[in-house]
Chains A and B, each alone.
Chain A
């Protein structure tokens, strides 16, 4: 066995491992340096952690769409970031309408429910249309083709939204019940952060339940395993795929609302970065499985939030928060190089011959 392993290892592998190791060393060194310098108080760290978890919750809901679609079609739905984006846009319009009729302040919980449902509906609808129009005809095409289509669909949607609704920022009104914060001991949690975290957990539990225990979920899982066999078992493959897209879309829409809690602005380009990061989260946790998406997203949220100060400050990098996106992308690159199946992932083996 050792002999085999030695024969297969190449110079490339060694170089890549060296680079990976260097990054690891850098990260650990930076962390130690930062912590021993004591620049930030425990309170700061806890605040960063909480905002990281809140962000992670949002990423989790978006990641769900990526992971479900990849599991079932083995393709990255590049346009999912725009499916996400449609949620906040819908929310701002519905919110304005609710304010106009006075329900926003009189019936906050009802308003929230209406916002969530409408955002989920619109996002699910867009995801559904995407699949029907752009992906379904290409199901048997060579693998580059659907990927390119997805990329095209992505900025088509971006710029349609820009054209329809303008290139400016649309504000999302705040809700009375989410203003302010709670104090737990010395720790301050904003109500919006708490809402994001709780909302994410709830949604993930619901969606996990659907995937594990309902008929639809079983259909989804069997189509993921083997499309042809599922069809032979009497499962309507097309309908299952459509439902998968819709579900992922709805989750992303709800994720969009939670995102608005944290950053109350909608903008046509807002999907790009969260989308990429959510995909990173999905891969980090193990693409194709729901708990993996949640776990990966939380981890990524933490890394993005705490990382710049923890790793980079110690290494002497000025204004490390500038590089938080770079950290997320580095995680993406590293995970895909070293462990593409993710931390919790199952091996998706490829047939060779």
Chain B
């Protein structure tokens, strides 16, 4: 069953077509990657899915429900969560607070509850904090709850962002370059961690990634974009051999050059 389906999604900015009739299907509990050279439209696609952008044409479905053009907060409430290419945490709030904000859709307290501290509100807050702490342990940030988000080292900030995204109990998690800026050992941990997200929590994962090693290692299905067009789709083995993909990254003629090089090697 497909968790996310995009049909002919097109996004234009003035005269520039950032996404052209993109068809994509993300299967339930899959780890699905989107790759492509810079400017291919990957983050634009994420933005369309999460409601930041409104596609000019096409539709996006979350488990058969049309979510095209819904506002970001509604999309989140329906079960999609994301992280960002350049980490966007709430810098001047604590780690726990960041996660509590992530839980926002699942909490109910309002103005009155906040002022009166009635028993139901208090219990809700208490449970929420406990849940947040559990999430922290899960992502490996145990005990760091009271630190300011901006004071965490880079790798931990990334993990906090994921924890925050998990807090809303999503069905689908969009990860935008989760290993950016990491060294090989950190990258390994992240790969391991992403697998656990799927294995232990049953979340479907759609990720944008640049590091080919990660992509080939972790993905079950890969979609390749270039200049806003989908140019290939398949499992890692197929993509690696796909000439169009190679050309997209290395330029025309590279594919034949590579095979010639391989032949003469």
Contacts and interface: CB of A to CB of B under 8 A. Distances in A.
B251 to A, nearest CB: 23
B54 A8 contact: yes
Contact of A352 (B52, B68, B69): B52
Contact of B53 (A1, A3, A352): A352
Interface residues of A, number: 8
A4 B47 contact: no
A100 interface: no
Interface in A1-57: 1, 3-4, 7-8
B52 A353 contact: yes
B54 A4 contact: yes
B84 interface: yes
Q: Max chain A CB contacts within 10 Å: which of B46, B52, B53, B54?
A: B54
A353 B47 contact: yes
B81 to A, nearest CB: 14
Contacts of B47: 352-353
Contacts of B46: 353
A8 B54 CA distance: 10
Interface in B31-53: 43, 46-47, 52-53
Contacts of B68: 4
A101 to B, nearest CB: 59
A353 B43 CA distance: 8
A353 B11 CA distance: 15
A4 B55 CA distance: 9
A7 B53 contact: no
Contact of A353 (B13, B56, B69, B85): B85
Contacts of B176: 353
Contacts of B56: 1
Contacts of B70: 7
Interface of B is mostly: loop
Interface string B45-88: 01100001110100000000000111100000000000011001
Interface residues on B, range: 10 to 19
B227 to A, nearest CB: 19
Contacts of B88: 353
B43 A8 contact: no
Interface in B145-173: none
Interface string A129-170: 000000000000000000000000000000000000000000
Contacts of A3: 69
B11 to A, nearest CB: 12
A3 B56 CA distance: 11
Interface in B80-123: 84-85, 88
A353 B71 CA distance: 15
Contacts of A8: 54, 69, 71
A229 to B, nearest CB: 15
Contacts of A349: 13
Contacts of B13: 349
A7 B69 contact: yes
A1 B56 CA distance: 7
A320 B173 CA distance: 60
Nearest to B44: A353
A8 B51 CA distance: 11
A3 B66 CA distance: 12
B28 to A, nearest CB: 25
A349 B14 CA distance: 11
Contacts of B43: 353
Contacts of A352: 47, 52-53
A3 B55 CA distance: 12
Nearest to B86: A353
A294 B72 CA distance: 39
A8 B68 CA distance: 11
A349 B71 CA distance: 19
A352 B18 CA distance: 14
Given A353-B43, A353-B47, A353-B85, A4 B69 contact: yes
Nearest to B74: A7
Nearest to A352: B52
Contacts of A7: 69-70
A229 B232 CA distance: 33
A3 B70 CA distance: 11
Nearest to B176: A353
Given A4-B68, A7-B69, A353 B84 contact: yes
B183 to A, nearest CB: 25
A8 B56 CA distance: 14
Interface of B: 13, 43, 46-47, 52-54, 56, 68-71, 84-85, 88, 176
22 contacts: A1-B56, A3-B69, A4-B54, A4-B68, A4-B69, A7-B69, A7-B70, A8-B54, A8-B69, A8-B71, A349-B13, A352-B47, A352-B52, A352-B53, A353-B43, A353-B46, A353-B47, A353-B52, A353-B84, A353-B85, A353-B88, A353-B176
**Nearest 8 pairs of A and B residues by beta carbon:** A4-B69, A352-B52, A7-B69, A353-B47, A4-B54, A353-B52, A353-B84, A352-B47
Given A4-B68, A353-B46, A353-B176, 15 more contacts: A1-B56, A3-B69, A4-B54, A4-B69, A7-B69, A7-B70, A8-B71, A349-B13, A352-B47, A352-B53, A353-B43, A353-B47, A353-B52, A353-B85, A353-B88
